[in-house]
Amino acid sequence: MAPPFPTKKCGVLGATGSVGQRFILLLQRHPHFVLHAVGASARSAGRPYREAVRWKQAAPIDARVADLVVRPCTAAAFADCDIVFSGLKKDVDIETEFFAANLPVFSNAKNHRLDPLVPLVVPTVNLDHLALSGVFDIQYVALSHNTVIGAAGASILNAEAAVLKGYI
């Protein structure tokens, strides 16, 4: 029998962009991950998500998600989250701040894909790379472009595997 899956509070950085919206779409009805926080630029911060976003996805936004207040993309603003998914394009400083604050980041950005201490995970190919947390304290997981855009939910699978195996 599989161990029970712990519920985790998740945040999404870059929530008003296309990749952020895709993360939200995948998380808003997930059985174990609760979409707890959305973050975007200073222009959007402080506004209800429904007012800050031009929703581009085919499926609608859940009312609970639409009512979330957009937070600034700072580690302090997401301190109450267990996991953060980043849809930011390439802002290294923001993501670095998050994993420096011990907030695990699953990122679609290319910034750290060649870093030898950052696992580049494609769940159908090398999910076992998350096992590196026995050697390193993994706070950042790089995702391939197809992980978020092409293979729906694959980045969520990365996080599920990390949580279930006790890495996060």
CATH of the domain at 90: 3.40.50.720
The pTM (predicted TM-score) of the whole model is 0.76
Q: Is 122 inside a domain boundary?
A: yes
Total domains in the fold of the chain: 1
pLDDT for residue 162: 54
Q: What is the DSSP string of 10-27?
A: EEEETTTSHHHHHHHHHH
Q: Is 124 inside a domain boundary?
A: yes
Q: Is 77 inside a domain boundary?
A: yes
Q: Is 149 inside a domain boundary?
A: yes
pLDDT digits (tens, 9 = 90+) for 133-150: 543 444 545 554 444 333
Quote the domain boundaries for residue 151: 8-165
CA 114, CA 22: separation in Å to the nearest integer?
24
pLDDT digits (tens, 9 = 90+) for 105-131: 887 776 666 666 666 666 566 656 655
Q: Is 61 inside a domain boundary?
A: yes
pLDDT bracket for residue 93 (50, 70, 90): confident
Q: Is 127 inside a domain boundary?
A: yes
pLDDT digits (tens, 9 = 90+) for 44-92: 999 999 999 999 988 999 999 999 999 999 999 999 998 898 888 766 6
